[in-house]
Amino acid sequence: MTVCVFASSSSHIDNEYATAAASLGLLLARANMDVVFGGGGIGLMGRLADAVLENGGRITGVIPSFMKDEGWDHSAVSEMIITSDMAERKKRMFEMADAVVALPGGVGTIEELTEAMTLKQLGLYQGPIIILNTLNFYKSFIDFLEHMVSGHFLRHEHKGIWEIAGTVEDVMSLLGKKDGWHNDPRSIARI
């Protein structure tokens, strides 16, 4: 299984987020799961990659050429795919992914997470989408999703597109689930 992890590149955040990212990297490596990530060398991306590498795991970075030119890539990741832009980066990551995990992050992470949700809603991506809610980071976002459902912008059934994990152990448990979301997502895509 290849797990795509979206995460913050900020290094100015609470250390508990970094600890969770490192723990996830360790558990993914120990579970012999491949990891694909945004290729960054700092923040949660860097901590995740460090932990995967330190524990003998396999990780692939996908980074746009302008970020590589700025020196934002993780120097120890040997398999680094360079893309022409951000859109190609996401496309490549989704093509490689059997599962998506979103760690806390900024607008880039939110954009990646919501694109994953949109693709799954339309039947263009089939795997699990897991939101790691460390320190209740995603509470407002989750509340907003519930607001979309109650306002009929999403169907109640769409709540099955994503799953919430409180801990990295919960993430690993959810990655091990075999049941899918919906057999025919397009049949309920239209509200």
Residue 113 C-beta-side C-alpha neighbours within 13 Å: 26
Query: CATH number, domain at 91?
Result: 3.40.50.450
Lookup: tokens for 76: 């120890």
Report if residue 187 sits inside a domain. Answer: no
In this predicted structure, the answer to whether residue 180 has a pLDDT above a threshold of 80 is no
* Alpha-helix residue ranges (DSSP H) falling in the chain: 15-30, 43-54, 65-69, 86-96, 107-121, 139-150, 168-175, 186-189
- The average pLDDT across 174-185 equals 84
- So what's the pLDDT on residue 61? 98
Is 173 a member of any domain?
yes
pLDDT at residue 146 above 90? Answer: yes
Answer whether residue 184 is part of any domain: no
Q: Which residue has the tokens 């558990």?
A: 27
Number of domains in the chain: 1
Tell whether 188 is covered by a domain: no
Helices (DSSP H) in 100-179: which residue ranges?
Answer: 107-121, 139-150, 168-175
Residue 152 within any structural domain of the chain:
yes
Average pLDDT of the chain to the nearest whole number: 96
**Torsion over CA of 15, 168, 166 and 145, rounded to 10 degrees?**
100
Check pLDDT > 90 for residue 138.
Answer: yes
- Decide if pLDDT at 121 tops 90: yes
Tell me, yes or no, whether 190 lies in a domain. no
pLDDT bucket at 79, cuts 50 / 70 / 90: very high
* Domain span holding position 72: 2-179
Q: Is residue 50 part of a domain?
A: yes
Has residue 47 been placed in a domain?
A: yes
Task: Examine the pLDDT at 191 and tell me if it is beyond 80.
Answer: no
